[in-house]
Amino acid sequence: MASWLDYTINGLILGNVYALVAVGLALIFGVSRLINFAQGSIYLVGAYIGWVAVVGLRTPLFVTIVVVAVASALVGLIIERFGLRPLRNSVRIAPLLATIGISFVLDQIVMLTFSPNPRALPSQLPDIRFRIGTGTIGPLDILIACIGITAALLLFVFLRYSKLGWAVRATAQDRDAAMQMGVDVNRVNQTVFGIAAALGGLSGMLVGMYYNQIDTAMSLHATLKGVVAEVVGGAGNVPGAVVGSLLLGLVESYGVAVFGTSYRNMFAFILLILVLVFRPNGLFASAKQAPPEPLTGTFIAPSSPVRIPGLVLGVAFAAFAVLPLLPVSNYVLQTLINAWIFAMLALSLTLVAGTIGQVSLGHAALLAIGAYTSALLSLDFAVPVSISILCGGLMSAALGTILISPSFRLRGHYVSIATLAIGEIISLVILNWETVTRGPIGVSGIPPLSLFGYELVGTGSIYWFSFAVMVLLALLQVRLLGSHIGRSFRAIRDDDVAAQAYGLGLNRYKALAFIFGGFAAGVSGGIAAHLYSYINHETFNTQQSILALTIVILGGLGNVAGAIVGSVALVGLPEVFRIAAEYRILIYGIVLLLLVRFRPQGLLGTV
């Protein structure tokens, strides 16, 4: 039986590890006002470099630490130089999307190189425990504490006493002024990314040693935990990030002690949402600061949408509508069914992220709500499938909007973090709420699709069903965009301050966007559930959220036709070229990066 002292030590050690990630995030946020979503991937890379060094090269511990720090720093420098520096003068959404893309590319490269199976990462330290009072402490705990404290001291000395450190602090305070005084901002960025990556990589290695296990799924959670700690401490505040990390570590450790490990990640996310909503400047921010003048009209690149002639649309519609009558293989139809399901999700996301500018990264959770609602209604209450899917859509619209509503108060990058966290919370609730959702076993034996009591037999009828629903949702969305609501959404995206000054209630319209978009996502999830016949809490995961985002960016933000074209391209083409599943996410990440760099308005342009 572990004592409270053990939980405290455990919490502080965890906090130390989070601090290494969070300090890097805070440094980067300080100088470039960017939340680096790739920080967790560097942590992952660090863990695997550590594994190669320890297991492959059998390096002694000290050498391993140096190797991991240097190699991770190199990765950070490469990200800064080739991923972010070219985007210096682009719209604010661009670097955000770029770090998301980079994170997926890095994670996938690690996964393809090392396989997704967990590996053991031995710490090379003697396995002994020292007793302190009622608790115990091991050599690894001490090592982690030492690395944490040493890193903090080095960083303090660097920022306080070196010329480059001054440049970093000057840039964080006022970038333009620093540039005018001759500070080389590129060099500052490079330094900061290098330091952040070295710390992040070390953190990954230490966590791997702490649990004696590393796997490729650790990246996303590391990013989230680091961001939570950083936001709790106040974005861009380096000492705040350390305190926030220790606090997060303790909250988690005590939380696990009280509620059990299956809720471990929930505490961090709930803490994040609470801080974002009630203390958006962090726990340590002075109560009153002049409200920052928000940037205007720079979140999304100005562009005019490509006008598609009605004739082309008509011909495309007719061609896809008659497809099952032509001699095409079932395989093609199945691929397109998948594309139509993703198109519904993309329609939803393009409305939310594109039209009203709330870049949601937790959109798959809306699918999950719709899927579970429809599956459970049809299984447990014998509701006809077509009606249960409709209920799934309505449930996603209602519940999804309520759950996402804390993010309505936020702006820009914070919306993305908050929605990502809310998505994770929903997934954890599904996992833990066993009496309703059947927990980790998932829901199996979901009845197949049917319409008015007739089961849809054959790929052709399923194809028509999903195509028809998708087209219907698209037409509804076009109608919405043509109304005063569509205009209001776009006005809020372009400048929420001016929109408010002209009577547009931000909460009202954000809620309407999520209600409308939630419905489409819920219907999409419902259809998917009945198509797959089995779902669990991992069926609708962050990868799908990112795929949806890539589809939306590819098609053009807010662009209805673009969402459909994007889905066919990104879901359909990899099938056509028979690209193995594990390479697809890599390709999506690369596509996202290339788009952000070379065609930020997407194929068909922002609406």
Partner 1 sequence: MAGPVHTPASSLEPLLSLRGLTRRFGGLTAVDEINLDLAKGDLVSIIGPNGAGKTTLFNLVTGLDRPDAGEVRLDGQPITGFSPERLAGLGFARTFQLGRVFGNLSVMENVLIGAHTRLRAVRPAIPLIGPLLELGLALWRPASVKAEEERLREDVRAILARFGERLLPRIDQPAYSLSYANRRRIEIARALALKPRLLLLDEPTAGMNPTETAEMQGLVAELKAEGMTILLIEHKLDMVMRLSDRVIVMDEGKKIAEGLGEEVRNDARVIEAYLGHGLARSTVGAQETAA
Q: Closest CB to partner 1 among 272 and 301? A: 301
The only residue of 125, 257, 379, 504 in contact with partner 1, by rule CB under 8 A: 504
Residue 515 engages partner 1 in binding (rule: CB under 8 A): yes
CB of 409 to partner 1, least distance (A): 13
Q: Closest CB to partner 1 among 40 and 522? A: 522
Give the binding range for partner 1 (CB under 8 A) out of 78-86, 480-488, 525-533, 565-573.
Answer: 480-488
DSSP letter at 119 equals B
Nearest CA to 214 out of 302, 118, 294 is that of 118
The only residue of 62, 161, 502, 598 in contact with partner 1, by rule CB under 8 A: 502
Site for partner 1 in 298-317 (CB under 8 A): 300, 302-304
Give the binding range for partner 1 (CB under 8 A) out of 29-37, 342-350, 360-368, 508-516.
Answer: 508-516
Q: Closest CB to partner 1 among 61 and 398? A: 398
Residue 329 engages partner 1 in binding (rule: CB under 8 A): no
DSSP letter at 291 equals P
Give the binding range for partner 1 (CB under 8 A) out of 283-291, 329-337, 421-429, 525-533.
Answer: 283-291
CB of 137 to partner 1, least distance (A): 43
Rounded Cα gap, residues 7 and 135, in angstroms: 9
Contact 16, 144 (CB under 8 A): yes
Helix (H) or strand (E) holding 1: none
Joined tokens for residue 587:
């390709």
Rounded Cα gap, residues 563 and 550, in angstroms: 10
| Number of chain residues interacting with partner 1 (CB under 8 A) | 42
Contact 262, 48 (CB under 8 A): no
Give the binding range for partner 1 (CB under 8 A) out of 404-412, 418-426, 499-507, 590-598.
Answer: 499-507
CB of 296 to partner 1, least distance (A): 5
Residue 286 engages partner 1 in binding (rule: CB under 8 A): yes
Rounded Cα gap, residues 415 and 421, in angstroms: 10
Give the binding range for partner 1 (CB under 8 A) out of 57-65, 230-238, 321-329, 494-502.
Answer: 494-502
Q: In 406-424, which positions are buried (b, 16+ CB within 10 angstroms) versus exposed (e)?
A: bbbbbebbbbbbbbbbbbb
Q: What is the dihedral of CA 430, 431, 432, 433, to 10 degrees?
A: 30
CB of 10 to partner 1, least distance (A): 40
Q: Closest CB to partner 1 among 134 and 507? A: 507
For 135-195, the DSSP string reads EEE-HHHHHHHHHHHHHHHHHHHHHHHSHHHHHHHHHHH-HHHHHHTT--HHHHHHHHHHH
3-state secondary structure of 455: strand
Give the binding range for partner 1 (CB under 8 A) out of 122-130, 252-260, 362-370, 498-506.
Answer: 498-506
Residue 491 engages partner 1 in binding (rule: CB under 8 A): yes
Residue 52 engages partner 1 in binding (rule: CB under 8 A): no
Distances (CA, A) of 244 to 57, 220, 227, 239, 435: 36, 19, 10, 9, 35
Residue 500 engages partner 1 in binding (rule: CB under 8 A): yes
CB of 588 to partner 1, least distance (A): 26
CB of 119 to partner 1, least distance (A): 48
Residue 453 backbone zone (phi > 0: left; psi -120 to 50: alpha; other: beta): left
Residue with tokens 């060094």: 53
Residue with tokens 């959770």: 365
CB of 287 to partner 1, least distance (A): 9
Residue 292 engages partner 1 in binding (rule: CB under 8 A): no
Joined tokens for residue 551:
């589809």
CB of 462 to partner 1, least distance (A): 27
Residue 173 engages partner 1 in binding (rule: CB under 8 A): no
Backbone angles phi, psi at 506, to 5 degrees: -65, -45
Instruction: List interacting residues with partner 1 (CB under 8 A).
Output: 286, 288-291, 296-297, 300, 302-304, 476, 479-480, 483-488, 490-491, 493-495, 497-506, 508, 511-512, 515-516, 606-607
